[in-house]
Amino acid sequence: MATRKKNDAPSAMEGQAAFADLMQQMAHLPQISPAALAELQADYLKQATALWNTSLGHGEAPAIGDRRFAAPEWRASPAANFMTQLYLLNSQTLSRMASAVEADDKTKARIRFAVQQFVDAASPSNFLALNPEAQKLALDSHGETLARGLQHLWGDVQRGHVSQTDESAFEVGKNVATTAGNVVFENELFQLIEYTPLTAQVHARPFLMVPPCINKFYILDLQPDNSLIRYAVSEGHRVFVVSWRNPDESVKALTWDDYIEQGAIQAIRVVQEISGQDKINTLGFCVGGTILATALGVLAARGEQPAASLTLLTTLLDFADNGILDIFVDEAMVRLREATLGPESPKGPQLLHGQELATTFSFLRPNDLVWNYVVGNYLKGEAPPAFDLLYWNGDSTNLPGPMYCWYLRHTYLQNELKQPGKLTVCGEKLDLGAIEAPVYIYGSREDHIVPWQAAYRSTQILNGKKRFVMGASGHIAGVINPPAKGKRSHWIAKGTALPADPDAWFKSATEHPGSWWPDWSAWLASHAGAMKPAPKTPGNRKFKAIEPAPGRYVKAKA
């Protein structure tokens, strides 16, 4: 076969083949139809012309509703006002272009997400040279705000993340996670906390809470006035809570089966033994609900039905609609995680570090959880206020790679948890429909992590008597909504019908003011058994108090 000399040009036929191959590849790239593009261009030119005329004094500029530009300095400066209006026009046009792309739903969602990340990062408010409010503060303070901003920046560089709150204002066990109790059991995976009764009598059946393992349990026990744990204790329940260990190198090889068998199932066994009750009430929050339901499914396969009731808060069992997180998950991404974190990794099992998860979740809402603090902390030199929820949000946790990879593949990617007999967990064929307990299912209307419709779909998987309630607000604020504050609202449908279509349920639902907690509390009490004298000491002869709540595990940093 002849070889081409160094200076020989490729033949015309080869060039045509290469061009045809390139065009074929480009044909499969997301595109915008010519008609849609022409409409976008016409709209942009029309609005840009109107904006330019306004800047020349012909007409009044429209009001800016964006809170990033709410300070009077943005309107006082003609240049800043024009720049802001142009930025908002460009942002709107880019977002419309992303929505006009002709592609499958997942590709379109990814393009919209990427465009929004760029748009939010490019805001003039994020740059000192373009932010008249920050400039005025610097001049009025003779540069003190800039000096403080540099100090805040250096502190965050050392911490490895953008501070969202004054972290020095909180200490776990001192002014968050303060409900009195004792650790009565521990293994390499979790500590079990039993809380001290606040009533003379308690319900006969104990109550076990399983929080998410991707966060620390004290989201359920921030302050006394917004603690779901304290609320349950004050309602006369003997409350036990799983406090997951913040994994380190010694447990980096733990699997999903370990979290089920040595985690949730072990917690159920200990609560049964301490209380002397075969039936216990159970609650799972977010991933904790997925773990708890899986554990109850494994026990059902073994002929056991330990749950007198099951409460699922913003929990996914059907992963067909994962909200915004769906854009991150595909076969290539999961294989990459398996190759770097799973057992087949060249280095063996590895940890998924908590800061990576925390950063990902923050950039789901970048204006609220990233750029807002960049501007306030660094450009304005403002110390972030003390806020318990944001302190918890920044107290990240690691995850064992094998556990995380199994969870990604079999739930988010392949959606197999809901399929009877599809998965084998802890040696048992899993069927969530075999769980016989009555279920209270809660979803938050503005939840971007577990859309309420996705939480609702658990009603079509579980076969016990079910009640679905939807609360206002998002993934956390919707759940942590104590009745005393009289905030927000919730929706309950008349009757017990739970149609397959979530929107059909919503059409029949009625909005009620205030927290959903009292409705849940009344439901839980109906499954909690008769009242009896509260125990005087935690645990029992076998499971004695190890240390006061909240225990050591929750204090470990990622």
pLDDT in tens, 257-287: 999 999 999 999 999 999 999 999 999 999 9
Chain segment 494-515, per-residue pLDDT in tens: 888 899 999 999 999 999 999 9
Q: 102 and 238 share a domain?
A: no
Quote the pLDDT of residue 9. Answer: 44
Least confident of 40-54, 288-302, 459-473: 40-54
Q: 124 and 236 share a domain?
A: no
In a domain, 166, yes or no: no
Last residue of a domain, one of 131, 156, 171: 131
Q: 208 and 119 share a domain?
A: no
Chain segment 153-211, per-residue pLDDT in tens: 999 898 888 999 998 899 999 999 999 999 999 999 999 999 999 999 999 999 999 99
Q: 124 and 191 share a domain?
A: no
Chain segment 342-396, per-residue pLDDT in tens: 988 899 999 999 888 888 888 888 888 899 999 999 999 999 989 999 999 889 8
Helices (H), 415-556: 452-456, 502-507, 517-525
* CATH code of the domain containing 208: 3.40.50.1820
Q: 124 and 185 share a domain?
A: no
Q: Is the pLDDT of residue 289 over 50?
A: yes
In a domain, 192, yes or no: yes
Q: What percent of the chain has pLDDT over 70?
A: 94
CA dihedral 410, 415, 417, 421 (to 10 degrees): -90
| Mean pLDDT, residues 217-243 taken together | 97
How many structural domains is the chain composed of?
2
| Mean pLDDT, residues 505-529 taken together | 97
Quote the pLDDT of residue 322. Answer: 80
Confidence category of residue 59, pLDDT binned at 50, 70, 90: low
Q: 312 and 458 share a domain?
A: yes
In a domain, 159, yes or no: no
Judged by DSSP in three states, 440 sits in strand
E-strand stretches of 111-238:
181-186, 190-195, 201-203, 207-210
In a domain, 353, yes or no: no
Distance separating alpha carbons of residues 293 and 411, to the nearest angstrom: 13
The reply to whether 286 belongs to the active site is yes
Please tell me which of 12-21, 108-117, 129-138, 156-165 the model is most confident about, judged by mean pLDDT: 129-138
> In terms of residue numbers, what domain contains 48?
32-131
Q: 200 and 280 share a domain?
A: yes
317, containing H or E segment: none
Q: Is the pLDDT of residue 23 over 50?
A: no
Mean per-residue pLDDT of the chain: 92
- Annotated active-site residue in 213, 286, 405, 426: 286
Last residue of a domain, one of 99, 131, 163: 131
Q: How far is CA 58 from the centre of its chain?
A: 47
Last residue of a domain, one of 72, 103, 131: 131
pTM passes above 0.85: yes
In a domain, 386, yes or no: no
Please tell me which of 9-13, 70-74, 274-278, 352-356 the model is most confident about, judged by mean pLDDT: 274-278
Q: 291 and 434 share a domain?
A: yes
